[in-house]
């Protein structure tokens, strides 16, 4: 694997790729700042752009959006008590009280420093674990792959603020949508209802943009959401914490990074759960737990380092197994497949330069996030003040242009509109959208492995019960669902 180190560094340090990384983290911070938008919408909108890029640039752009949104969400969480992303909700608990005490600058600096620290720990974990996991995953049989994909879908369905039943319904819906089109074995069309444009299947970009981006705009208009940031001036001097506060930084940052790194690897868990667990751990080990929720810096540092470490290690199952643990990683998987690269056990062996380029882009992106902390705060506050009647039409125009530019298809714009309406209605009834996208991406892969598994076992289900690896995956899935406390 080390033979691609030098070449990967050269790829990552090319001016065009550095620009893509900077663009990615900047866009990520922007969507993190805008409450409710999130990285999935931005990654979906920019997915068609990746078609014309080389693989390294596309991965750097999408990766930058993914972990850039983590810090962007912390900005509104601290300044407004409004989490820009789901995994920034914990940051409001102690971040906003710090801002109310006139220490918003120090809270933003500590959040950025914790994000950088967690990102570096997550990058180190990715470098160590991807080759190890890939080496062992190469020996997985089709039945074991079926069990692993089902485990990802079940655990992914169980994470969020809804019941497991609703998550499973959305995963199953996503699988059905992923099977629309032509069967690659029989050559017959499925679920197309005589519509010629569906013979090649439903395109990922219009579906993802519809259910995440357009549906959020529809909900915001219907619910008349308003975000009015206060006028404030944060100087460079106001960002610097005291020496005493810096001495308190390493322990919660390290604990949060370890928690984030571990739970980022697990399919379906992601930064939201990791940040909550890091906060809970920090409060448990603290000698002054009663101070949490009143502006305790440990309560800010731990979840911020956890969510950024989790952002990095979420790439481990995607790169090593070819199985995304979240909807965002499903889009990253799509970027790889669009460019003819098969993620999985042999990805690092066959594409070492791309792997190392991605690793170096993580380092560049996290450094850019930290450097841009001060100059862009005023810009984010200004963007939050843009009226909705200007911001939303412009956003929809960008979505439509990106969809049409991908393959010059008006039909895909229609698909985006349909899924935007469907997504808004489902979200009103608390049906989660990420499991739908996860099922859509993994459905065809599940079908392929299931067909091979049926051939190997000759249709005998007892084959699965005699396989210790499958039983281990089933048991681990059950434990994760119980750990998350999900009910059907």
DSSP letters, 420-485, are HHHHHHHHHTT--SHHHHHHHHHHHHHHHHHHHHHHHHTT-THHHHT-HHHHHHHHHHHHHHHHHT
What pLDDT, in 10s, does the model give residues 306-345? 888 888 888 888 787 777 766 677 778 778 888 877 777 7
| 355 φ/ψ angles, rounded to the nearest 5 degrees | -60, -50
Residue-level pLDDT at 324? 74
The C-alpha atoms of residue 236 and residue 408 are separated, in whole angstroms, by 47
Cβ–Cβ contacts within 10 Å for residue 328, how many?
29
**How many domains is the chain built from?**
1
Low-confidence ranges of the chain (pLDDT < 70): 1-4, 34-38, 80-87, 89, 136-140, 156, 158-162, 224-239, 267-270, 272-273, 325-327, 373-374, 377-385, 402, 405-406, 480-488
Residue-level pLDDT at 374? 61
Check residue 191 and report its DSSP letter.
Answer: S
The C-alpha atoms of residue 301 and residue 285 are separated, in whole angstroms, by 14
The C-alpha atoms of residue 30 and residue 177 are separated, in whole angstroms, by 31
Q: Are 86 and 278 in contact (CB under 8 A)?
A: no
Residue-level pLDDT at 487? 41
Residue-level pLDDT at 269? 60
Check residue 83 and report its DSSP letter.
Answer: -
Cβ–Cβ contacts within 10 Å for residue 136, how many?
12
Residue-level pLDDT at 486? 46
Residue 234: closest CA among 73, 374, 111, 33: 374
The C-alpha atoms of residue 119 and residue 121 are separated, in whole angstroms, by 6
Q: Are 260 and 278 in contact (CB under 8 A)?
A: yes
Q: SS3 for 162?
A: coil
Q: Are 265 and 316 in contact (CB under 8 A)?
A: yes
Alpha helix (H) ranges present in 47-183?
55-80, 91-100, 104-137, 142-158, 164-178
Residue-level pLDDT at 488? 38
* Domain span at 177: 2-484
Distances (CA, A) of 26 to 42, 52, 72, 397: 11, 21, 9, 20
Residue-level pLDDT at 257? 92
Q: Are 68 and 26 in contact (CB under 8 A)?
A: yes
Q: Report the relative pairing of strands 189-190 and 181-182 from DSSP bridges.
A: antiparallel
Residue-level pLDDT at 327? 67
Q: Percent helix, strand, coil in the chain (nearest 5)? A: 75, 0, 25
End-to-end CA distance of the chain: 43
Give this prediction's pTM.
0.70
Residue 426: closest CA among 237, 160, 198: 160
Cβ–Cβ contacts within 10 Å for residue 135, how many?
14
Residue-level pLDDT at 238? 56
């Amino acid at each position: 694997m080390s033979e691609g180190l030098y070449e990967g560094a050269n790829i990552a340090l090319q001016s065009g790729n550095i620009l893509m990384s900077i663009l990615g983290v900047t866009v990520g911070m922007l969507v993190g700042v805008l409450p409710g938008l999130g990285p999935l919408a931005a990654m979906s909108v920019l997915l068609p752009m990746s078609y014309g890029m080389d693989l390294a640039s596309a991965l750097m752009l999408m990766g930058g959006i993914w972990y850039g949104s983590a810090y962007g969400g912390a900005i509104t969480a601290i300044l407004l008590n409004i989490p820009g992303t789901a995994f920034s909700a914990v940051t409001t608990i102690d971040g906003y009280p710090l801002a109310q005490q006139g220490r918003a600058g120090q809270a933003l600096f500590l959040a950025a420093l914790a994000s950088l620290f967690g990102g570096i720990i997550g990058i180190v974990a990715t470098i160590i674990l991807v080759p190890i996991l890939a080496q062992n995953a190469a020996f997985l049989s089709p039945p074991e792959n079926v069990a692993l994909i089902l485990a990802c879908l079940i655990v992914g369905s169980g994470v969020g603020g809804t019941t497991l039943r609703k998550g499973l319904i959305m995963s199953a819906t996503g699988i059905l949508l992923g099977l629309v089109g032509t069967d690659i074995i029989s050559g017959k069309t499925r679920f197309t209802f005589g519509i010629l444009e569906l013979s090649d299947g439903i395109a990922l970009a219009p579906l993802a943009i519809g259910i995440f981006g357009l549906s959020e705009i529809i909900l915001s208009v219907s619910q008349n959401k308003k975000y009015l940031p206060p006028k404030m001036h944060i100087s460079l001097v106001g960002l610097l914490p005291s020496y005493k506060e810096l001495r308190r930084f390493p322990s919660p940052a390290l604990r949060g990074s370890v928690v984030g790194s571990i739970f980022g690897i697990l399919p379906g868990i992601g930064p939201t759960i990791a940040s909550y667990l890091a906060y809970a751990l920090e409060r448990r080990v603290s000698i002054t737990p009663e101070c949490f929720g009143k502006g305790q810096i440990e309560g800010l540092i731990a979840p911020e380092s956890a969510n950024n470490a989790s952002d990095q290690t979420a790439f481990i199952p995607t790169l090593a197994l070819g199985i995304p643990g979240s909807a965002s990683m499903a889009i990253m998987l799509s970027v790889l497949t669009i460019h003819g690269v098969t993620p999985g056990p042999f990805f690092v062996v066959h594409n070492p330069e791309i792997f190392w380029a991605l690793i170096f882009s993580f380092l560049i992106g996290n450094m850019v996030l930290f450097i841009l902390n001060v100059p862009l705060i005023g810009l984010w506050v200004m963007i939050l003040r843009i009226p909705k009647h200007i911001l939303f039409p412009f956003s929809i125009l960008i979505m439509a242009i990106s969809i049409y530019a991908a393959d010059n298809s008006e039909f895909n714009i229609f698909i985006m509109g349909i899924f935007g309406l469907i997504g808004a209605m489902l979200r009103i009834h608390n049906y989660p959208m990420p499991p739908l996208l996860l099922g859509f991406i993994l459905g065809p892969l599940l079908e392929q492995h299931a067909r091979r598994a049926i051939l190997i076992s000759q249709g005998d289900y007892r084959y699965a019960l005699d396989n210790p690896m499958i039983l281990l995956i089933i048991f681990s899935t059950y434990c994760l669902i119980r750990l998350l406390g999900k009910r059907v």
